[in-house]
Structure 1
Amino acid sequence: MSFPTTVRIFEMSPRDGLQNEPGELIPTTVKVELINRLSQCGLTHIEAASFVSPKWVPQMGDASDVMAGISRQPGVIYAALTPNMKGLEAAIEAKADEVAVFSAASEAFTRKNINCSIAESLERFAPVMETARHAGIRVRGYVSTVMGCPYQGEVDPQQVARVAKAMLEMGCYEISLGDTIGVGTPLKAKRMLEAVSKEVPIDRLAAHFHDTYGQAIANLYAVLEEGIAVVDASVAGLGGCPYAKGASGNVATEDVLYLLQGLGIETGTDLQQLINTGHWISRTLSRHNGSKVALARGDCHE
């Protein structure tokens, strides 16, 4: 057992948390305030926007306005998801500190979503990587469906390793391993990580586990034991799972932080401020707060 002494939390709520939010478009002012509140919690990495077609992801259609409206704090990285060159160019213009590209470990998932093979999806990122490099912007890579796919079911850990290695070789500084539909269990998480870590150093990997089946915290504990020191999470558990109707999505940042504090792992993040922020955004969106820790601690109105 070898827990890291410090863990970096990568806050996903402004992007992965809000992109699937149903109903009316969330006002830009709400997104900006969410990011500003998060940046006061001690978080150092916040995925603030996604530069994708508003036709496909309407909630992210105001990405440039969001990036222009935030109050940037020293030491905080404001990242953006950029699926193609058009997205990258918009992110650079909006002064994103770093960007992210994404693929999947499942051929069925990739074909269903972007109508091409995994290899073709990676090839499409070559000009994005090159342009980002020339612009001096770091690129993070996401690998989806690392422990299961809504279309093909089981996913071979060796396939996850191959995709992660390809992203590393393309120039991604870090690879985030995503249990997109939250079907993983601790043993499956360990076996997946064992395969990937043979191809990608553990200090270049992050865990992005969804909580659809209530296993995210257990799965995170399992990979923390193996040395994972970067965790993606979303305040108040913001974000749904579009492949499992009625299911929750992202693991709540508050719950992750409570786990890490219990293990004596430093994060530099203020739990009470996170709880307050989670309650605020839950009230603002008139949605249930998905954090068990926040619900146990109660609502602290500012």
Structure 2
Amino acid sequence: MIPGLPQKLTQHGLPQRVTVYEVGARDGLQNEKAVVPTSAKAEFIERLAGAGLWMIEATGFVHPKWVPQLADADELMPMLASRTFNEHTRFPVLVPNRRGLVRAAATGAKDIAVFASATETFALKNLNSTIDDSMKEIEATLQQALARRMRARGYVSMCFGDPWEGPVSMRKVTDVVVRLIDAGCTQVSLGDTIGTATPGHVRTLIDALERRGVSRDRLAVHFHDTYGQALANTYAALQAGIATVDASAGGLGGCPYAESATGNLATEDLVWMLDGLGITTGVDLQKLVDVSSWMAGILGRPAPSRTVQALMKGSKNG
């Protein structure tokens, strides 16, 4: 039993239901120094699904030289296929290019995510190409994915700030988002890769995208908590009509190509806030805390999530 559950007080102007897009198994674990066994990853995903999460990004079909923690993607996906999940549960996978798409398709993946940058410097460091060249590869990848009847999501990194270039113009961000949607992405997630966004910036960018013809139901948000702004930024996004929020169980993750990026918004912290706002997620917070505590044991360190830490401490004191 969780002590001190937040009182549910519904606020006007917020979505009644929010989809929590869980990225811990991919974005969270990819930044770990120690490689987590494939069987443990499969169990992690199964436990996340058991806690009520239904959009769980499972892995990425990237080159193992660059992200060795995801080198087992071809083994992990068949493991998931052999287990029983709710029929609505989906396991998107990150694909950086057409080679990754072919690998993902061979495992039976039905949902993919592609990765773009709003800044040239990060595109060169992370994708080894210019924005335009990387977008051409993404567009070719999406064309092949759609031909295979796959569903596609897009990520845009450095939407609010870049460690090399500083502030990022909204025009750059909106150009990339529009291009991804035109290429076939059903949803685009706005990434605050180094955690520099503030609520006013979040709302202004969402409004700018609407003026470019991007409806709010096509957008998600992906915040990092480097400056402690992730929940405040999420609330601003909810007020702006966004109903899909990326989060990582236990607060795992960061970005291997941006050293200043700390962990993702913790799923437990997000669910605690959403529960208090009376917003439906379908996630069982107690089960989720148990999952993250279990993974913390696998990793050999406490979960970064403040909610996990508080509730685990409360249960011990109780």
**What TM-score does the superposition give when structure 1 sets the normalisation length?**
0.95
For the 8 Å contact 2:31–2:254, the answer to whether it is kept is yes
Stretch of structure 1 that moved more, 152-161 or 51-60: 152-161
Which of 55, 67, 74 is residue 65 of structure 2 equivalent to?
A: 55
Measure how far apart 1:283 and its partner are.
1.2
Measure how far apart 1:59 and its partner are.
0.2
1:151 pairs with 2:151: no
For the 8 Å contact 1:181–1:249, the answer to whether it is kept is no
For the 8 Å contact 2:194–2:262, the answer to whether it is kept is no
Rounded Cα–Cα distance in structure 1 between residues aligned with 2:174 and 2:159: 9
Following TM superposition, where does structure 1 have runs of at least 4 consecutive aligned residues deviating by more than 4 angstroms? none
For the 8 Å contact 1:2–1:225, the answer to whether it is kept is yes
1:66-87 residue CA offsets vs partner (Å, 9 max, x unmatched): 1111224121001100011111
Partner of 2:3: none
Partner of 2:210: 197
Partner of 1:31: 41
1:19 pairs with 2:30: yes
Rounded Cα–Cα distance in structure 2 between residues aligned with 1:17 and 1:136: 28
1:244 pairs with 2:259: yes
Alignment of 1:178-217 (within 5 A): 178-199=191-212, 200-217=214-231
Question: Aligned to 2:30, what secondary structure does the other structure show?
Answer: coil
Partner of 1:79: 92
Measure how far apart 1:19 and its partner are.
0.5
1:289 pairs with 2:299: no
Question: Aligned to 2:231, what secondary structure does the other structure show?
Answer: helix
Measure how far apart 1:125 and its partner are.
1.6
One-letter code aligned to 2:198:
T
For the 8 Å contact 1:42–1:268, the answer to whether it is kept is yes
1:103 pairs with 2:113: no
One-letter code aligned to 1:4:
P
Greater RCO, CA 8 A, separation 6+? 2
Partner of 2:154: 141
For the 8 Å contact 2:98–2:137, the answer to whether it is kept is no
For the 8 Å contact 1:203–1:228, the answer to whether it is kept is yes
Question: Aligned to 2:270, what secondary structure does the other structure show?
Answer: helix
Percent identity over the alignment?
44
For the 8 Å contact 1:21–1:240, the answer to whether it is kept is no
Rounded Cα–Cα distance in structure 2 between residues aligned with 1:92 and 1:77: 15
Aligned length: 299
RMSD across aligned C-alpha pairs, in angstroms? 1.5
For the 8 Å contact 1:142–1:178, the answer to whether it is kept is yes
Stretch of structure 1 that moved more, 290-299 or 136-145: 290-299
Structure 1 unaligned residues grouped into runs of 5+: none
Q: CA 1:215–1:141 in 2, change beyond 3 Å: closer, same or farther? A: same
Q: CA 1:238–1:274 in 2, change beyond 3 Å: closer, same or farther? A: same
1:126 pairs with 2:139: yes
Rounded Cα–Cα distance in structure 2 between residues aligned with 1:72 and 1:132: 25
One-letter code aligned to 1:183:
T
1:138-183 residue CA offsets vs partner (Å, 9 max, x unmatched): 1100000001011101001121111100000000000000001111
Rounded Cα–Cα distance in structure 2 between residues aligned with 1:108 and 1:276: 39
Measure how far apart 1:198 and its partner are.
2.0
One-letter code aligned to 1:68:
P
Rounded Cα–Cα distance in structure 1 between residues aligned with 2:134 and 2:21: 24
One-letter code aligned to 1:7:
V
Which of 292, 309, 312 is residue 278 of structure 1 equivalent to?
A: 292
Question: Aligned to 2:92, what secondary structure does the other structure show?
Answer: strand
For the 8 Å contact 2:293–2:302, the answer to whether it is kept is no
Measure how far apart 1:241 and its partner are.
4.0
Question: Aligned to 1:140, what secondary structure does the other structure show?
Answer: strand
For the 8 Å contact 1:82–1:91, the answer to whether it is kept is yes
Measure how far apart 1:137 and its partner are.
0.5
Structure 2 unaligned residues grouped into runs of 5+: 1-11
Rounded Cα–Cα distance in structure 2 between residues aligned with 1:286 and 1:198: 47
For the 8 Å contact 1:49–1:81, the answer to whether it is kept is yes
**What TM-score does the superposition give when structure 2 sets the normalisation length?**
0.91
Rounded Cα–Cα distance in structure 1 between residues aligned with 2:25 and 2:71: 13
1:223-257 residue CA offsets vs partner (Å, 9 max, x unmatched): 11000000000000011344235x63201000001
